[in-house]
Amino acid sequence: MAKNMSKTMKNTLYMLAYLLGGGIFGFLIASDWGQNASSSLRFDPSIYYKYDLPFALAALIIIVLSGLTLFGLNRLKNVPVPLDDWAEELGNKEEYALSKLLMVSAFNHIVAMIWMLTAIAYSASSVSAPSEVPFILVNIFAGTAAVLVSTFLQFRSVQLYNKHFSERSLDYFGKNGQKEFFDKLDEAEKFTVYRSAFTAYKAVNIALVSGMIVFVLYSVFFTFSPLPIVVLGIIWMIQQASYYYEASKVYRNK
């Protein structure tokens, strides 16, 4: 009874929060402040060149993540194979460090890709001025170099993983590397992948809706921008279609 009451109370509080949020949102859009927000929200992320701060932030993140990856590679390269054969715990500290290394190298690669692609997009846009050409070129070359370095670091991290888990090795550059890797997993590891994939599916659902709301707000306060909303919608449909296609396989005759 107490547990049900608590759940009802929680649902009531959520409902009140949604009502409050919706009320604030509606007021902001309808009010004078909302109508003139683009002049009020003067956020100019630059010191000398336009957008130099975001690019500098990306560079800083990559330096930190690359440093962490190099530190991890150096620390783990001399760990004996196998990782502590008589380990009884799930995930001794070397295994845990290896999993963190793979995650950090993946994030490093993503940030590097964002930097490079944003620099290319900025150079190709009509927003950039001719005087900014040196700045843009530096960002394109540095971003490309960051992608190459992060790819190499990620490859080395995967090589280290393959050294310790040779029966479940991942072919980093292979066309079907991910599928071949998955096929090598045992049932418990596959169960962990399924559970992780479902958690990622739920997180992406929330992220896509949140992203679309962000771009609606962007259109309200700045300029009408339908393309990001449409692109996120298409990604959402692809995600749902993939999920239901996989789930429907069980009903098909072999």
Partner 1 sequence: MSELTNRVRELRARDRLSQGDLAAQIGASRQTIALIERGDYSPSIVLALKIAAVFEVSVEEIFALKGGTDNG
End-to-end CA distance of the chain: 48
* Residue bearing tokens 């960051």: 146
Q: How far is the CB of 91 from partner 1 (least distance, A)?
A: 7
Which residues within the stretch 139-168 sit at the binding site for partner 1 (CB under 8 A)? 167-168
Which residues within the stretch 179-208 sit at the binding site for partner 1 (CB under 8 A)? 185-189, 191
Interface characters, 61-100, with partner 1 (x: CB under 8 A): ---------------------x--xxxxxxx---------
Q: How far is the CB of 184 from partner 1 (least distance, A)?
A: 10
Q: How far is the CB of 1 from partner 1 (least distance, A)?
A: 24
Q: How many residues of this chain bind partner 1 (CB under 8 A)?
A: 16
Q: How far is the CB of 164 from partner 1 (least distance, A)?
A: 11
The answer to whether 250 contacts partner 1 (rule: CB under 8 A) is no
Stretch (H or E) spanning 143: helix 133-164
Within 13 Å and on the Cβ side, how many CA atoms surround 108? 27
Nearer to partner 1, 27 or 96 (CB): 96
Give Cα 130 to chain centroid, integer Å: 33
Read off the tokens for 166: 């040779």
Q: How far is the CB of 236 from partner 1 (least distance, A)?
A: 32
Read off the tokens for 110: 């993503």
The dihedral sign for the CA sequence 36, 40, 45, 47: positive
Residue 4: partners with Cβ closer than 8 Å, 6 or more residues away = none
- Give the footprint of partner 1 on this chain (CB under 8 A): 82, 85-91, 167-168, 185-189, 191
